[in-house]
Amino acid sequence: MLVIGIAGGTGSGKTTVVHQIINELPEAEVGVISQDSYYKATDNLTFEERTLINFDHPRSIDFSLLVQHLKELKTGNSINQPVYSFVKHNRTSDSILTHPRKVMIVEGILILSHQELRDMFDIKIFVHADSDERLIRRLKRDISDRGRDMTEVLDRYQNTLKPMHDQFIEPSKAYADIIIPNDTYNTVAIDIVRTVINEKIG
Ligand SMILES: Nc1ncnc2c1ncn2[C@@H]1O[C@H](COP(=O)(O)OP(=O)(O)O)[C@@H](O)[C@H]1O
Ligand SMILES: Nc1ccn([C@@H]2O[C@H](COP(=O)(O)O)[C@@H](O)[C@H]2O)c(=O)n1
């Protein structure tokens, strides 16, 4: 199995890049795990309490479950990947049966900041976009897809997202083998990554 880690700040375009990479690859050969699926379940908290969680700090992620799931996939076992709701700020009761594939992509803001997880990647990619561009994309996406308003997005950006980005995410770029500049759609970089994957999977 070839394991590819794709990190980058929020709104950098990780999810978009993943879709662009897997679009032209045989469906049966590629699987995706999202770090977002591994936000810790917080059933013990009220909705109001959940809105106060710092979702950009590594402690908000159940990294031990994520590492355990990736180990299972590497040994050929399927996993039940949790499903997270950004509207409820909590894990749902659903899960997605995820089978091991020749290529497994793990994507998320903090995946290169966690040493054990990072060491499991054969290729480490960081998607970079300018912070203004990322904030604009995040505003539009969170309002249209994640049930937020402008005040929520901007408050979160100022209070937790930006400081956590500077403390944990930006420094993890140093671990990347490949940095994809994604201020505009970067088809050349996507083609290069696809070529590398095709070579590895034969
Ligand atoms: N290169 C790009 N140019 C313009 N918009 C983009 C680009 N890449 C992604 N987007 C848009 O920005 C938003 C955030 O992208 P997404 O892939 O969800 O980022 P991430 O997964 O890193 O948070 C989405 O609405 C997406 O369509
Ligand atoms: N309930 C939540 C959980 C997370 N977030 C934000 O999501 C961002 C990570 O996801 P991307 O797809 O953008 O990489 C992260 O910056 C968290 O602030 C949230 O808003 N609500």
Domains with residue ranges and CATH for the chain: 2-188 (3.40.50.300)
| Distance from C-alpha of 108 to C-alpha of 123, rounded to nearest angstrom | 14
Ligand 2 atom with minimal separation from the 138 CA: 13
ipTM: 0.98
Q: Does residue 16's CB lie within 6 angstroms of at least one atom of ligand 1?
A: yes
* Residue 24 binned pLDDT confidence (cut-offs 50, 70, 90): confident
| Distance from C-alpha of 156 to C-alpha of 52, rounded to nearest angstrom | 9
Instruction: Give the binding-site residues of ligand 2, using a 6 Å CB cut-off.
Output: 10-11, 14, 36, 39, 55-56, 86, 89, 109, 156, 161
* Residue 126 binned pLDDT confidence (cut-offs 50, 70, 90): very high
C-alpha 28 to ligand 1 mean position (Å): 25
Q: What is the pTM of this model?
A: 0.97
C-alpha 77 to ligand 1 mean position (Å): 32
| 57-112 pLDDT, tens digit each | 999 999 999 999 999 999 999 999 999 999 999 999 999 999 999 999 999 999 99
| Atom 4 in ligand 1: residue holding the nearest Cα | 184
Q: Is 170 exposed, middle or buried (0-12, 13-18, 19+ CB in 10 A)?
A: middle
